[in-house]
Structures are given as structure tokens and as C-alpha cells.
């Protein structure tokens, strides 16, 4: 591309460094920013600047937060004995939007992935173990990790680390998605959903 | 979406205000910015801040520029008597990347579009007319506007304004794209390309 200005080129390069944004899109976005008023652009810049400068990680669950404790951890009406272990904060947001979970979270900050050079020490596993040993007493850990090789590895690693503790360890249910037609479902999911069938009356009253 | 932090929500809203970026993408981009180092984020913020603060419009052709005159207008080896009229700076970049044009530009900053409330007074048409009347003498104007109703309206408006001047007015060639197969081309384009056929020998030596 033949960008006529170094300043514009610099902005395009920076925007194109974001994941999934190519040079042409970056140019389109830069030009749309240029068309805005000064105050609009400074609001934009300020919001991103603040994002990095002021946001914190909750010191208990490592969810993103504006304060030292996130909204979930500082909410006394939630069950602090029930901890859902997730890969990152997008999973927290996804689970929160179901309104089905009344416990608290622990954000690992990734999953074990040897191909990407991520081992157990890169995740917040030590922090999870110390949380299990300290008050408030945790009764149950729900492993809500992706159903991938990496997710299963991480879940198994956590299980091995925690199996001697007096704590219940569960994983979220794997099975056929609601709305799916059986004939189109892959064999592994369908096979598992038969092996791990649940009593019908349990499906009538869903509780977290 | 259940965003756990006001600061993050603010950044997501700002990024989602860009054209073609939805909330989910904005969240993904915000989180990817959060994962960067402080200096990387400040480079990012600085580039966008500079974009609005330091970029200028060339005072002759209204192309984007780092200085008072853009690279094209300050280049004495280009033909300043041949002016290509375009809608916006992306068109300049597109034409420049063909390396087929040795003249200079005039960026209108839009096209006449009554439906969007854009009339001739919102464009840099007065500036174009005063350019035509002043030195350096312009011999030919090439109207390189989109082949849409709005583009054709703008071209006709400019033609009416300029027809009494001693100046040649041309438009870029309309016809069948290179690489297209005739059977798939729309009737209007194909019809026009027959009416406005060019002598075969002219296609052998292309010159701007």
C-alpha cells in the first residue's frame, strides 16, 4: 500500500498489529478515527490508556477488576466454597451471563500447552492450591476447561495435584448441545453423552 | 455481555464504535492489548494520538500529508498541469499504487449524495475551481469517481461548472475488467464497453 504519510502509516501499523485486523481494515479504521472530532479521538485514546494503567486483577480469583477484589469475590451472597476454575476471563463472562452459577471463580490465565511453551508454572496453579488450603474453606472445585487436548491435560494435572485434598472435584457436563439434532453430532460427543447419561428427573430441576 | 470492569467496558465500547467492529471483537482486541507490555500499549496509544494531532491536509490537493504540501504536490517531476479528481485519499493511494499516473490530485472529500445530506458545498469544489483559475495552469482534469449514481452526479456537476473553461475534462475508462470472462459481465458494463470501444493499437502502448 502506498500510504502518503508516515504518521498515518504508523497508526495503520499499530492497528494492524491487533489480532485479526489486516492492513486494509487498519487503514479504514485509521481514516474513520481521523474523521472524528478531537475530543472523540482523545476519549478513544484515553479509554485504551486507562485500560492498561488502571485495570487490576482481583487478588483472589485473578478476574479483571476495577478494584482489589472483583465484583464476584466481594459479593457475600455468593457461595465462596464453590470455585469454578476457568482458562481466562472471557470464560468468566460467558458463565456469568448464564446466571446459573452462584459460586466464585479462579482464572488460570491459560491452559497447559507444551506446543505453545506453556507449562503448569506459567499458570496460576500455585495460587489455586494455596487458595484450597486457606480459609474460606473450599468444598468443591468445578473444572470448566475447554474440551481440547490442552484442556483435558490441564484438568488431569489439577486433578492429580488435588486428589489427596478433602475436596470434591467435578467438571462441567459434556454432551449434546441444546438444539442439536442427533444425526449431525460427532461420534465422540454422542458416545460420551450415552456413557455419561444422567437420570431424567435430574434434568427437570436445574440447580447450580 | 457481562463485562466485569467499568474500565474494560469503556475500552470495549470505544473500540466497538469503530466501523465494522462488534462488541465481541472489541473485547478480544481489548484483552489482546491488555496482554501487551506497558511500552507496547503506550506506542499504540501514541500512534493514534499523533494521527489526529499531527497529520495535515496538503494545502493544494487535500491529500493527507505530514507537511504543508504532500509528497505528490511537492514532487517537481510530476505533471502539475494534469489533475486527477478523486473522492477520498484511499483513491489516491489506489491510483498511486498502479504507478500509471504522473500528474497530481485533487481530493474532493466525498461525493454529492443527497440521501446522505452531502451537497456540492460540503465538498472541496470551490477549491478545485480556484485551482483551475490560478497558476500553475491546469490543462486536463481527469474525473476518477465511482461508477455509481452519486459518482456520476458529481462528475456531471463538475463538468457543468468547468465546461466554459479552457480545460480538457476526461473520465477514467469504463469497461470490462482485465481477467473477466464476457459471459459473466453485467449488461450495462458490456453495453458501454462496446459503445466506447477504443482503437486496438491504443491498447498496445498505455501511457498516462
DSSP H helix total and E strand total for chain B: 7, 6
pLDDT-derived band at B177 (thresholds 50, 70, 90) equals confident
What does the pLDDT average to over A105-120?
92
pLDDT value at A4 more than 60: yes
The domain segmentation of chain A, as residue ranges, is 6-54, 75-172
CA distance readout (Å), A149 to A59, A146, A153, A155, A192 = 29, 8, 6, 10, 16
CATH topology of domain A75-172: Dna Topoisomerase Vi A Subunit; Chain: A, domain 2 (3.40.1360)
What does the pLDDT average to over A108-115?
92
- The rounded distance, in Å, linking the Cα atoms of B158 and B125 is 8
- The rounded distance, in Å, linking the Cα atoms of A176 and A178 is 6
| pLDDT per residue as tens digits for the range B21-79 | 999 999 999 999 988 999 999 999 999 999 988 888 899 999 988 888 898 999 999 99
What does the pLDDT average to over A46-60?
90
Phi, psi of B68 (to 5 degrees): -70, -35
CB contact under 8 A, B4 and A30: no
Classify domain B6-54 by CATH architecture.
Answer: Orthogonal Bundle (1.10)
pLDDT value at A5 more than 50: yes
Phi, psi of A103 (to 5 degrees): -90, -155
- The rounded distance, in Å, linking the Cα atoms of A48 and A195 is 48
Containing A8, the helix (H) or strand (E) segment is: helix A6-16
Q: Which of B172, B169, B186, B170 is nearest to B144 (CA)?
A: B172
| pLDDT per residue as tens digits for the range B95-131 | 998 888 999 999 999 999 999 899 999 999 999 999 9
What does the pLDDT average to over B168-190?
86
Q: Which of A169, A167, A168, A176 is nearest to A196 (CA)?
A: A176
Q: Which of A19, A170, A201, A2 is nearest to B72 (CA)?
A: A2
Listed in sequence order, the residues at least 6 apart from A83 whose beta carbon sits closer than 8 Å to its beta carbon are A61, A103, A104, A105, A106, A131, A138, A140, A141, A142
E strands, A122-177, where?
Answer: 140-143, 168-171
CA of B97: which chain A residue's CA is closest? A2
- Give the gap in angstroms from C-alpha A17 to the nearest C-alpha of chain B: 9
pLDDT value at B205 more than 80: no
What integer pLDDT is reported at residue B208 of this predicted model?
46
pLDDT-derived band at B166 (thresholds 50, 70, 90) equals confident
- The rounded distance, in Å, linking the Cα atoms of B201 and B208 is 15
DSSP state of A105: E
What's the mean pLDDT when you consider all of chain A? Answer: 89
Q: Which of A53, A74, A208 is nearest to A144 (CA)?
A: A208
pLDDT-derived band at A165 (thresholds 50, 70, 90) equals confident
Give percent of chain B with pLDDT exceeding 70.
98
- The rounded distance, in Å, linking the Cα atoms of B6 and A90 is 15
- The rounded distance, in Å, linking the Cα atoms of A38 and A76 is 43
CATH topology of domain B68-172: Dna Topoisomerase Vi A Subunit; Chain: A, domain 2 (3.40.1360)
Partners of residue B25 in chain A, C-beta under 8 Å:
20
Instruction: Say whether residue A43 is in contact with chain B using an 8 A CB cutoff.
Output: yes
User: Is the ipTM, as predicted for this complex, more than 0.95?
Assistant: no
DSSP state of A155: H
Most A CBs within 10 A among B15, B21, B27, B45, hence the mutation to make, goes to B45
pLDDT value at B195 more than 60: yes
CB contact under 8 A, A45 and B49: yes
Amino acid at each position: 500500500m502506498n500510504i502518503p504519510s508516515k504518521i498515518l502509516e504508523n497508526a495503520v501499523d499499530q492497528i494492524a498489529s491487533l489480532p485479526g485486523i489486516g492492513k486494509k481494515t487498519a487503514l479504514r479504521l485509521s481514516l474513520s478515527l481521523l474523521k472524528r472530532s478531537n475530543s472523540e479521538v482523545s476519549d478513544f485514546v484515553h479509554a485504551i490508556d486507562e485500560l492498561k494503567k488502571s485495570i487490576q486483577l482481583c487478588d483472589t480469583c485473578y478476574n479483571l477488576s476495577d478494584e482489589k477484589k472483583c465484583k464476584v469475590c466481594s459479593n457475600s451472597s455468593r457461595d465462596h466454597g464453590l470455585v469454578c476454575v476457568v482458562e481466562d476471563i472471557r470464560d468468566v463472562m460467558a458463565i456469568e451471563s448464564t446466571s446459573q452459577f452462584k459460586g466464585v471463580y479462579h482464572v488460570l490465565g491459560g491452559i497447559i500447552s507444551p506446543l505453545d511453551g506453556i507449562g503448569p508454572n506459567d499458570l496460576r496453579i500455585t495460587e489455586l492450591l494455596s487458595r484450597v488450603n486457606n480459609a474460606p474453606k473450599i468444598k468443591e472445585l468445578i473444572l470448566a476447561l475447554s474440551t481440547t487436548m490442552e484442556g483435558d491435560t490441564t484438568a488431569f494435572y489439577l486433578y492429580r495435584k488435588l486428589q489427596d485434598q478433602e475436596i470434591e472435584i467435578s467438571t462441567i457436563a459434556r454432551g449434546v448441545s441444546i438444539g442439536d439434532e442427533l444425526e449431525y453430532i460427532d461420534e465422540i460427543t454422542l458416545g460420551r453423552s450415552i456413557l455419561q447419561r444422567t437420570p431424567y428427573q435430574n434434568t427437570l430441576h436445574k440447580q447450580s
